[in-house]
Chains A and B, each alone.
Chain A
Amino acid sequence: MEGGPSARIREGDCAVLKRDEVFKAVSVLRRRKITFEKQWFYLDNAIGHIYGTTFEVTSGGNLQPKQEVEETTTETKEAGTDNRNIVDDGKSQKLTHDDIKALKDKGIKGQEIVQQLIENSTTFRDKTEFAQDKYIKKKKKKYEAVITIVKPSTRILSTMYYAREPGKIKDCTLMKDNVIQKMNRYCSKQENSFACSTSFYHFSVTTTLLITYAGRGSLHFQSHLRYDTLAQMLTLGNIHAGNKMIVMETCSGLVLGAVMERMGGYGSIIQMYPGGGPVRAATSCFGFPKPFFDNLHEFPLSKVQSLLSGTFTTETLHADPEENALGEEESNGLTEEKQTSLQETEEEPAPEAAMEINPTEEQDAMDVNAEDGEFKENKEKENKENVREKQIKQWERRKKLQEAAALLREKNADGLIVASKFHPTPLLLSLLEFVAPSRPFVVYCQYKEPLLDCYTKLRERGGVINLKLSETWLRNYQVLPDRSHPKLTMSGGGGYLLSGITVVLDKGKSDSSNSEALKMEEPSSKRCKLQDLPC
């Protein structure tokens, strides 16, 4: 949204394609076929245009900025009053399928095809005005293919993510299998690699709670976090520039991206991650400028306990049992596998990796300069430098880890955001230790019950006030003259939030103050007996 040159579409940008209510995130690259909504085209012609420009797809897959056209409805409008005489005999449209196909193949503009369809519809004039409108709208949608290219934002990306069928989409598993294989090998070689946009691990059961084994490809895709729920989180968490935030999410990096957008590069974020590294597929779709990543840190969840108990060192960095859990992938010839392009995913993310909406769409998300000619020549040299490089990388990783640990040790974070597939209780009880008093925290969970447990445990722990368990309902409206009504309600599916504020924890009197607080906060109701003793 910044003015000036940044509002123009540039090569290498992360952009979002929009057609009606459907979005798709893409990298703007020349000579690259994009498939979107049953159409294919190249983005070359879009480069240089301002974000928000609407394009028409011409034959040959080129984009042309759409000219504003005057609606050519010169004829006096004839319309019926009701449908008492309209019979569905299947013969109202005089154009056959072949006729329509012929029109399309001639490259006739969609608008004209729609006009032809109307003229050849015997029932059109008898339809009511409303029905005529509806008919035209439907046909326009089908034949007038216009695509708008917009700048990514939390609004667009969170809407896009939620719009997909949640069951069908799993994190980044829609990449080609060979890409996944490559990545697996890469992950197993480069332990803890942050360049992986997907990683596989199994989770050690660190708490007494049952944590389900997450195998390959079952990375939970953002667990039904509806966009209005995300909006609540950002506000309840008082996310703003200058904060020092702790974020724990397994939503492909969407929540992280939303927090980063709200902080505008000011302040710092420590992302807690399970397994081998944080997943930031969705984060990369935001197209943040490089400086935004300068104060983005990451810290492995598996090290939280040792950090809290003071036994944390970076020496044990690679002794993680969680990593390289997939021996299967490891044993598939990995020694000679080079990871050239994958390292670039850090700087040059390919959003499609996370954004393929249609699994049948074949786009190798990671084909970043696969046609690199110098690649083979460098192979020899690389082998020699590999060992040294590895050492440097390891040292850098340790340094980063130390920085993150130091930031956490200060125990003065300005807030905590949790949205993960894990049980929230153990996360909260540990991570709240790092948060300063009088700061908000928000936990998202797809289900209400774990948050009931979390609420109870936080009460027992103390050090938190104003606990609130909530959910939002969202209702969409169709607003048209004489035709206004709610569209669809979305409720129950958006997940639940538990929010509160930290206070100074006085360890001595936590028991007595606790029951007092309980009395204060829970007016006993006549209908249900309140029993606040844990069994």
Chain B
Amino acid sequence: MSFVEYGDTIKDGDTAIVFLGHESMFPVKVQHGTVTQTKYGVIRHSTDLIGKKYGSKVTCSKGGWVFILHPTPELWTMNLPHRTQILYSTDISLITMMLELKPGSIVCESGTGSGSLSHALIRTVAPTGHLYTVEFHQQRAEKAREEFREHGVEHLVTVTNQDVCKNGFGVSNVADAVFLDIPSPWEAIGHAKSALKAEGGRICSFSPCIEQVQRTCLAMEEYGFTEINTLEILLRVYNVRTISLQIPDLGKAAEDNSSTGFDSSNPSHQGSPCANLQQGTVQFKSGVPLREVVGHTGYLTFATKSLV
């Protein structure tokens, strides 16, 4: 297993995702002789995991079962230990596409933070690209290095422990793309420009506040970036439910109910009479928005370093 290559079977040393149920999972480092406790009982790595196929159902000691999943950057994002606020897959998707990343791209990132975006970037630029990531917090930089090693991607990433606003990315004229997620990105735009290739490249800055965005846009303009564009992307998740609505009793006879004018056919059953008229309800499937949704993560400002 590695985060940039699928494997079929679970091996000693792999990072696997234990899936317990709806939105309930956690990562586990697979090791001979180790046990993991879940609410369904104990998982013994040597017998229950190693050698099994990813995606298998594993029965725990109490008789309950879990699925063991192959790690992906997206699953890691859902389960990683937070050392900072992280970026989620919705923003990451847009960043990846708008920075035009693909296998072979050279990317600069700062700050590394908890490595949520880093894993996604490495996945996309592998096997021939590289990520240069800069983190000014020494412990966080060290922890990130350790994780990249564990996940089998250390050859694709260089972690540098320095302040990007003062010292830049440690590389010049090599990057196809630069990503900034720092409190004062406008101070790093100059460094970003010199990190990007001479023939141009893309830049993105993530900021929660509009004032940060304004200063960043001004700095980008000052340094001659073009196509400056600020976006915000929001995820809406829907629960799939079968809803029953009661038919009001208007004093009509039951057999008249069918002529009350609503469409009682259920689309998913080819008009089989699913409206339980005898019960006085109509059933339908609905995508119900969650009661609480993320309203704002941050603004994404993209720009292009042009030739001149």
- In the complex, the chain A residue whose C-beta lies closest to that of B273 is A535
Q: In the complex, what residues of A have CB within 8 A of residue B8's CB?
A: 412, 436
A264 touches B102 (CB 8 A): yes
Q: Contact check: which of B97, B200, B217, B270 meets A231 at CB < 8 Å?
A: B97
Chain B interface mostly: mixed
- In the complex, the chain A residue whose C-beta lies closest to that of B268 is A453
Binds B, one of A238-246, A297-305, A391-399: A238-246
User: Shortest distance in angstroms between B69's beta carbon and chain A's nearest beta carbon?
Assistant: 5
A262 touches B236 (CB 8 A): no
**A498-534 CB contacts (< 8 Å) to partner B:** 501-504, 506, 517, 520-523, 525, 528-532, 534
Query: In the complex, what distance in Å separates the CA atom of A332 from the CA atom of B69?
Result: 57
In the complex, whether B53 has a CB less than 8 A from a CB of chain A is yes
In the complex, whether A479 has a CB less than 8 A from a CB of chain B is yes
In the complex, whether B213 has a CB less than 8 A from a CB of chain A is yes
B103 touches A263 (CB 8 A): yes
- In the complex, the chain B residue whose C-beta lies closest to that of A239 is B124
User: How many positions in chain B have a CB within 8 Å of any CB in the partner chain?
Assistant: 83
B120 touches A235 (CB 8 A): yes
Q: Contact check: which of B53, B92, B217, B304 meets A235 at CB < 8 Å?
A: B92
B283 touches A476 (CB 8 A): no
**B67-122 CB contacts (< 8 Å) to partner A:** 67-70, 72-74, 89-90, 92-94, 96-98, 100, 102-105, 120
B268 touches A154 (CB 8 A): no
Q: Contact check: which of A154, A468, A504 meets B53 at CB < 8 Å?
A: A504
- In the complex, the chain B residue whose C-beta lies closest to that of A474 is B233
In the complex, whether B54 has a CB less than 8 A from a CB of chain A is yes
B199 touches A439 (CB 8 A): no
Q: In the complex, what residues of B have CB within 8 A of residue A449's CB?
A: 267, 285
- In the complex, the chain A residue whose C-beta lies closest to that of B281 is A529
In the complex, whether B46 has a CB less than 8 A from a CB of chain A is no
B97 touches A155 (CB 8 A): yes
Q: In the complex, what residues of A have CB within 8 A of residue B102's CB?
A: 261-262, 264
Query: In the complex, what distance in Å separates the CA atom of A360 from the CA atom of B116?
Result: 48
- In the complex, the chain A residue whose C-beta lies closest to that of B213 is A479
B268 touches A469 (CB 8 A): no
**A457-500 CB contacts (< 8 Å) to partner B:** 465-481, 484, 486, 496
A155 touches B98 (CB 8 A): yes
Q: In the complex, what residues of A have CB within 8 A of residue B72's CB?
A: 238, 440
Binds B, one of A1-9, A33-41, A164-172, A367-375: A1-9
Q: In the complex, what residues of B have CB within 8 A of residue A465's CB?
A: 19, 67
Q: Contact check: which of A68, A227, A468, A525 meets B237 at CB < 8 Å?
A: A468
A238 touches B73 (CB 8 A): yes
Query: In the complex, what distance in Å separates the CA atom of A262 from the CA atom of B21?
Result: 31
B213 touches A208 (CB 8 A): no
User: Shortest distance in angstroms between B18's beta carbon and chain A's nearest beta carbon?
Assistant: 12
A1 touches B105 (CB 8 A): yes
A2 touches B104 (CB 8 A): yes
In the complex, whether A50 has a CB less than 8 A from a CB of chain B is yes
- In the complex, the chain B residue whose C-beta lies closest to that of A18 is B227
B104 touches A232 (CB 8 A): no
Q: Chain A 137-157, CB within 8 Å of chain B: the 1/0 string?
A: 000000000000000011100
B199 touches A475 (CB 8 A): no
- In the complex, the chain B residue whose C-beta lies closest to that of A449 is B267
**B172-223 CB contacts (< 8 Å) to partner A:** 176, 197, 199-201, 210, 213-214, 217-218
Query: In the complex, what distance in Å separates the CA atom of A158 from the CA atom of B93?
Result: 14
Q: In the complex, what residues of B have CB within 8 A of residue A264's CB?
A: 102-104, 128
B126 touches A1 (CB 8 A): no
Q: Chain A 318-352, CB within 8 Å of chain B: the 1/0 string?
A: 00000000000000000000000000000000000
In the complex, whether B11 has a CB less than 8 A from a CB of chain A is no
In the complex, whether B27 has a CB less than 8 A from a CB of chain A is no
Q: In the complex, what residues of A have CB within 8 A of residue B235's CB?
A: 470-472
Q: In the complex, what residues of A have CB within 8 A of residue B19's CB?
A: 465-466
In the complex, besides A1-B197, A479-B230, A528-B244, 9 extra interface pairs with C-beta distance below 8 angstroms are A52-B199, A436-B55, A474-B231, A475-B234, A477-B213, A479-B301, A503-B56, A522-B241, A535-B283
For this complex, 5 residue pairs linking A to B, each with C-beta atoms less than 8 Å apart, are A1-B197, A2-B104, A3-B197, A158-B97, A471-B235
* Interface residues in chain A, defined as those with a beta carbon under 8 Å from any beta carbon in chain B: 1-3, 7, 50-54, 68, 153-155, 158, 208, 227-228, 230-232, 234-236, 238, 240-243, 261-266, 412, 414, 436-440, 448-449, 451-453, 455-456, 465-481, 484, 486, 496, 501-504, 506, 517, 520-523, 525, 528-532, 534-535
